[in-house]
Amino acid sequence: ETGVTQTPRHLVMGMTNKKSLKCEQHLGHNAMYWYKQSAKKPLELMFVYNFKEQTENNSVPSRFSPECPNSSHLFLHLHTLQPEDSALYLCASSEGGQGNNYGYTFGSGTRLTVV
């Protein structure tokens, strides 16, 4: 385990379902991130939270909705997804602050399949 825990590990959902992905870290980090990893494509940044404030939304469709109730927890709420949203969703955390001079710690990801 890396110190960043993601649940569930695998998720299959229909296009009309609503589900949530959870990420938890107890590393004392202040910044948390959602990334999407699709086959043969670079990791795509989705959202950044720094000290619980959303600082980046990388043109993500509204069917993805993040929530960061505190510095240790991050959620990604999913509704009415499309098959092309099937991917590995990775959560990461870092020490945060201005600029990013620190390495991320990644979770193991949630493999999402939309049917």
Partner 1 sequence: EDKVVQSPLSLVVHEGDTVTLNCSYEVTNFRSLLWYKQEKKAPTFLFMLTSSGIEKKSGRLSSILDKKELFSILNITATQTGDSAVYLCAVTTSGTYKYIFGTGTRLKVLA
Looking at residues 6 to 45 of the shown chain, list those that interact with partner 1 (rule: CB under 8 A): 31, 33, 40-43, 45
Q: Counting contacts by CB under 8 A, is residue 59 touching partner 1? A: no
Question: Least Å distance between CB 79 and partner 1?
Answer: 24
User: Are residues 75 and 65 in contact, defined by beta-carbon separation less than 8 angstroms?
Assistant: no
Q: Counting contacts by CB under 8 A, is residue 64 touching partner 1? A: no
At position 100, the amino acid (one-letter code) is N
User: Are residues 22 and 7 in contact, defined by beta-carbon separation less than 8 angstroms?
Assistant: yes
Q: Give the closest residue to 99 by CA, choosing from 48, 58, 23, 27.
A: 48
| Strand 110-114 with 10-13, pairing | parallel
* Nearer to partner 1 among residue 15 and residue 51 (C-beta): 51
Binding site for partner 1 (CB under 8 A): 2, 4, 31, 33, 40-43, 45, 48, 50, 55-56, 58, 88, 90, 94, 96, 98-101, 103-109, 111
